Amino acid sequence: MLGHPCELDLAAAPTWSFVGNHCFTQISDTWATLDHCYYKYKLKDDRSSSYDWYALHRFGTASNNSPWVLDSAKIRAYRYSGSSQTWADWTPRTNWSGGSCSTVSIGITTPVGGLSKSFERCPEAVTFTKSANGTQPDYAQTWSGRRTRGNRELNFEIAVRVKQNGTATWTLPASVNGGPY
Average pLDDT taken over every residue of the chain: 87
Other CB atoms closer than 10 Å to residue 171's CB: what's the count?
Answer: 11
The amino acid occupying position 6 is C
Helix (H, G, I), strand (E, B) or coil at 93: coil
Give mean pLDDT, residues 98-118.
Answer: 68
pLDDT of residue 44: 94
Instruction: Work out the end-to-end distance of the chain between its first and last CA atoms, rounded to an integer number of angstroms.
Output: 71
Model confidence at 9, pLDDT cuts 50, 70, 90, reads very low
- In the chain, domain spans: 16-179
Contacts of residue 41, defined as CB under 8 A and 6 or more positions apart, other chains included, come to 16, 17, 18, 19, 54, 55, 56, 57, 115
Of 30 and 121, the structure prediction assigns the larger pLDDT to: 30
pLDDT of residue 123: 61
Question: Over the stretch 22-35, which tens digit does the pLDDT of each residue have?
Answer: 999 999 999 999 99
The phi and psi torsions of 165 (rounded to 5 degrees) equal 65, 15
In angstroms, rounded to a whole number, what is the distance separating the alpha carbons of residues 173 and 171?
6
Q: Are 55 and 81 in contact, with CB atoms under 8 Å apart?
A: no
Model confidence at 135, pLDDT cuts 50, 70, 90, reads confident
The pTM is what?
A: 0.82
The phi and psi torsions of 169 (rounded to 5 degrees) equal -130, 150
Helix (H, G, I), strand (E, B) or coil at 62: strand
Question: Over the stretch 46-95, which tens digit does the pLDDT of each residue have?
Answer: 999 999 999 999 999 999 999 999 999 999 999 998 789 999 999 998 88
- Is the confidence at residue 110, as pLDDT, over 70? no
Interior CA angle at 56 toward 41 and 28, to 5°?
A: 130
- Is the confidence at residue 5, as pLDDT, over 80? no
DSSP classification of residue 133: T
- Is the confidence at residue 101, as pLDDT, over 80? no
